[in-house]
Structure 1
Amino acid sequence: MRELTEIRSLLDRLEEVEADALETQDLDFKEWPAEPRQAIKLAVDIAICMANGGGGSVVLGVRDRVVGRAKAILGVPPETEIHQLKRDIYERTAPKLTPDIHELHVLEGTGRLLVMQVHGGLSPYTNTAGAGTVRKGNACVPLTGDLREKLMVERGDADFTAAIVPEPAQSLISAAAMERLRDQARQEQAPTDLLRKSDLDLLGAIGVLRDGQLTRAGLLIAGQAEAIGRHLPNFGWTHERMKSATAYDNRVDGRDENALALPLALAAIEARINADNPISTIEHGLYHFEYRAYPTIALREALLNALTHLDLRLASPVLVKQYPRRLEITNPGGLVGGITSANILHHPPLARNLQLVQALARLRLVNRSNLGIGRMFEAMLVEGKEPPLIIDEESAVRVVFKRQETARPFREFIAEEGKTGRTLDVDHLLVLRYLLSHPEIDTSTAAELCQRRDAEMRDILDEMVQIFDYLERGGAGRGSWWRMKPALHRRLEGLGHAERDQRIDWDVAKTRVLNMLKQRARRGEPGLTNAGIREVTAYDRQQVNRLIHELEAEGVRMQGHGRGSCYTYIGRTDNEQG
């Protein structure tokens, strides 16, 4: 849900963009119809749409496809009574919806907007005639039969993996799969007393054995390949070593390897990947540390996600394509429950195959608190590498890793910070890595990068200034920006003073200073002093003098004398333009 203060801030952005550009999965803007019955229908329809999409906020009274607050904010008539509107929505929805509705006072239009906070929950929701929509991205799409079934799966009413396999459990179990399962769970510090249990007792303890019979989840975890092939014919995996985008020189299928049970599949795929996943050694003091191009933790999290969150009703395998410079892991079935590639880092956890996920969570092989994606990101970022790219292709999810070498200065920095008790989380790591290749970052860019709200992101950035001492802040209010301290930037790049004295590239600095001087001249304000430009660029006095000398050709001149002097944009003369 969006706070009213955040919505007020977003309304200010209507001076620059249309309302449509601000809409997201959990935020919509709607113009209020003049005809009362149409207005009620709109409120009911958008409440159903947002609830089916996981919940969100709707700002009623804002017109789309226009720029400017005065044009966009038309408002809601004063006679529209909040209590009555809530009752209308309640009476016209099934299951019953009771959104929170708040009044937001504005200067434009009727002087009031309504902010409707819709909670997700017992989807699928429809109107009393049985029709409904669901939020996908920033649009409402019809709630078709397929989407209704998908919502029921997300709610746990149709867990495909919870069904019983109608054969004696003992005849289905693979001893090799059980031993591999114990090994993998032991690596994750699963409870020792759990792992010491007999096969059937262990499967019963993790919830996949019912009245002496395995569920499909249990079959996937511990079943013989032949039994999985009979009862779960759509399940499988394929690893292809690609020569190009259209050709491979080596291919293996899980069925051919008799490695379909999840513990065996995971081990087999990891071995295939690691055959071309080189190790680099970094010396740090008396120790030698080894790092793979694709970190083990990131690989395991991605593979377990693919093997447990796949849609077993689709006749498509988990597909691993290993190119010379990247790795792609694809599983059938798109993201569920309003999760998108733009919010997956912090979205509450949802599972398509709930019993399977719960069983593996008891063995600590997967995480029910949505920490798996964060661990995947962190494993890449702490080595100075780009995080994986997560792509929702509607009927499949694809995770892409770039093959990268470990950045020794960055890895050493993380290790040394850890020794001092400083633990950097994914937000900090994402910001630092961004600032290694960009001059600065603003709040909205950082919020999008870290999948946070603007208010949350400002707190994180300020923490990196005031507590961690990694960043410097410039500007004020909505115009604030942050940059990495030059000394830290040199350290993370592994460069000495002789190689690079500051972080901002010369051309970037020139462009930034020139644009600032032009804007100040346009507003009739004085220019910037040498000290002011040093603050903007992190350059020293002599470097600023050299920069200004080059900007003289663009119409920048010094005005005044002594401490009162400043550099001002006066424009280029006819001779200079010629």
Structure 2
Amino acid sequence: MPKNNNGRTVTDQSSMNAYIKSVCDIMRRDRTKGALEYIPELTWMMFLRILDEKEQEEELKCQAVGKSFTPSLKEPYRWRDWGNPHGKKRVELQNGKMGDFLDFVIMFSDRIEISSPGSFIGGVTPHNILTHPPVRRNPLLAEILQYIGAVNRGGLGVDRMYRRLLSYGKLPPEYPELAGAVQVIIRNGAFDEAIAKFVGRKAREGHGWRLEELIVLHHLRRNDKISTSEASEILQRTQRETSELLSSMEGIFIERIGTGRGTYYQLTNEILSSIGEKEKYTRIKGLSEEQKLQLLKNYLENNGKITNEEARNICGVNRNQSLRLIRKLVHKGFLRKIGKGRGAYYEKC
């Protein structure tokens, strides 16, 4: 086979024999099939590829002598159209408006919904899809297609979707829990130019963005702060893993506020300034004591009671600072203490 863009190059009988043996070794791993079943499948795939290459040669010869050429298979059924990773039909199926002709892709004005019959396999769920090792529905077929050059590296879909969307400040993909189907929803959110520029600038400066960093950045773009427990949920990591990840992000684009259980993280002043939200930093961190007391009063108006931990999270302070604020409200007759020890809380008078 001549060298082309369809995948591996087979130049002589020896390399052809090695090629066929390697694919047969892969197919033999499927205990549900014998040679009588997989050899016809392999033969058909190789026939389509060889036919396409031979007809490309014949077409060139005919063009050289001014003759017309009629192929056995026409576009888009040739190997070069759908088997080649850069084939026109392949690219069209991957990047085009598939909802126009594929019923499992539905296009809405604000989102795309892609569904596949069946359920998650191999222990994958919507709650661990970010961290679970990739699982293929048909490992045998996936390995063969990758070996013959019909697909690029596998197991990158989820990570790639998240990275691409978050890098432009868009909403991450959603995986709702459905009975009898796997579905992914991609929202048509607005392009966030400020975030895209920031992510791009840091990348040009040599920062290799981890997916976890992009997820935290996305959350803090839409929220004032994030706690370790909140980050643990959206990163699908344990509390310990999340704490280590957040610590590694400090100084890059987030800063720690508070200590102990009241600790939370927010974007640094430098980052907020670079994306045009400098006033947000002042709103989060620059609260006076009276403003913090007012925040607690507002919370109590809606909830009727408050714990020390809740006060710490609301005001972004440590345990001693929150106790001082609570005692001021008690002294002013706004609160009274109920209970003792860890079970104690403060009730609105």
TM-score for both structures, normalised by structure 2? 0.61
Secondary structure of the equivalent of 1:358? helix
Counterpart of 1:359? 144
- Is residue 318–residue 332 contact of structure 1 (8 Å, CA) maintained in 2? no
- Is residue 128–residue 236 contact of structure 2 (8 Å, CA) maintained in 1? yes
Counterpart of 2:264? 481
Counterpart of 2:178? 393
Secondary structure of the equivalent of 2:229? helix
Q: Quick one: distance in 2 between partners of 1:269 and 1:407?
A: 27
Tell me by how many angstroms 1:341 deviates.
0.8
Tell me by how many angstroms 1:262 deviates.
6.6
Q: Quick one: distance in 2 between partners of 1:204 and 1:454?
A: 48
Q: Percent identity?
A: 24
- The amino acid across from 1:486 in the alignment is N
- The amino acid across from 1:502 in the alignment is T
Tell me by how many angstroms 1:489 deviates.
2.4
* Structure 1 spans left out of the alignment, 5+ residues: 1-178, 186-193, 225-256, 277-316, 537-556, 560-565
Tell me by how many angstroms 1:506 deviates.
11
* Structure 2 spans left out of the alignment, 5+ residues: 29-34, 49-75, 318-323, 336-347
Q: Quick one: distance in 2 between partners of 1:452 and 1:558?
A: 34
Q: Quick one: distance in 2 between partners of 1:506 and 1:400?
A: 38
Secondary structure of the equivalent of 2:250? helix
Secondary structure of the equivalent of 2:222? coil
**Matching residue within 243, 246, 270 for 2:94:** 270
CA distance 1:398–1:479, shift in 2 (3 Å): same
**Deviations 1:388-443 (CA, angstroms, capped at 9, x unpaired):** 11234242211111113432221221122122221111111101110111121111
Counterpart of 1:437? 222
Tell me by how many angstroms 1:354 deviates.
1.1
Counterpart of 1:121? none
Secondary structure of the equivalent of 1:424? coil
CA distance 1:258–1:437, shift in 2 (3 Å): same
Q: Quick one: distance in 1 between partners of 2:245 and 2:122?
A: 27
Secondary structure of the equivalent of 2:242? helix
Matches within 5 A, 1:321-470: 321-362=106-147, 363=149, 365=151, 367-368=153-154, 370-466=155-251, 468=252, 470=253
Secondary structure of the equivalent of 1:427? helix
- Is residue 471–residue 484 contact of structure 1 (8 Å, CA) maintained in 2? yes
- The amino acid across from 1:415 in the alignment is G
Q: Quick one: distance in 2 between partners of 1:222 and 1:337?
A: 31
- Is residue 216–residue 231 contact of structure 2 (8 Å, CA) maintained in 1? yes
Tell me by how many angstroms 1:380 deviates.
1.0
Residue 514 (1) aligns with residue 299 (2): no
CA distance 1:534–1:365, shift in 2 (3 Å): same
Structure number with the higher helix fraction is 2
Structure number with the higher strand fraction is 1
Q: Quick one: distance in 1 between partners of 2:174 and 2:42?
A: 31
Tell me by how many angstroms 1:340 deviates.
0.1
- Is residue 219–residue 261 contact of structure 1 (8 Å, CA) maintained in 2? no
Q: Bigger CA drift: 322-331 or 213-222?
A: 213-222
**Matching residue within 282, 286, 292 for 1:502:** 282
- Is residue 218–residue 356 contact of structure 1 (8 Å, CA) maintained in 2? no
- The amino acid across from 2:201 in the alignment is E
CA distance 1:424–1:364, shift in 2 (3 Å): farther
CA RMSD of aligned residues (A): 4.8
Tell me by how many angstroms 1:522 deviates.
7.7
Q: Quick one: distance in 2 between partners of 1:446 and 1:333?
A: 30
Tell me by how many angstroms 1:268 deviates.
3.5
Q: Quick one: distance in 2 between partners of 1:359 and 1:411?
A: 37
Q: Quick one: distance in 2 between partners of 1:347 and 1:334?
A: 15
CA distance 1:409–1:358, shift in 2 (3 Å): same
- Is residue 272–residue 281 contact of structure 2 (8 Å, CA) maintained in 1? no
Secondary structure of the equivalent of 1:400? strand
Counterpart of 1:67? none
CA distance 1:372–1:447, shift in 2 (3 Å): same
- Is residue 325–residue 403 contact of structure 1 (8 Å, CA) maintained in 2? yes
Q: Quick one: distance in 1 between partners of 2:233 and 2:226?
A: 11
**Deviations 1:261-300 (CA, angstroms, capped at 9, x unpaired):** 6767643323532899xxxxxxxxxxxxxxxxxxxxxxxx
Which structure exhibits the higher relative contact order, with contacts defined as CA atoms closer than 8 Å and separated by 6 or more residues?
Answer: 2
- The amino acid across from 1:334 in the alignment is S
**Deviations 1:53-100 (CA, angstroms, capped at 9, x unpaired):** xxxxxxxxxxxxxxxxxxxxxxxxxxxxxxxxxxxxxxxxxxxxxxxx
- Is residue 357–residue 366 contact of structure 1 (8 Å, CA) maintained in 2? no
CA distance 1:504–1:218, shift in 2 (3 Å): farther
Q: How many residues align?
A: 273
CA distance 1:197–1:357, shift in 2 (3 Å): farther
**Matching residue within 256, 273, 279 for 1:490:** 273
**Deviations 1:202-258 (CA, angstroms, capped at 9, x unpaired):** 67655577769756986997897xxxxxxxxxxxxxxxxxxxxxxxxxxxxxxxx86
Tell me by how many angstroms 1:347 deviates.
0.8
Q: Quick one: distance in 1 between partners of 2:175 and 2:230?
A: 18
- Is residue 221–residue 262 contact of structure 1 (8 Å, CA) maintained in 2? no
- The amino acid across from 1:323 in the alignment is F
Counterpart of 2:320? none
TM-score for both structures, normalised by structure 1? 0.39
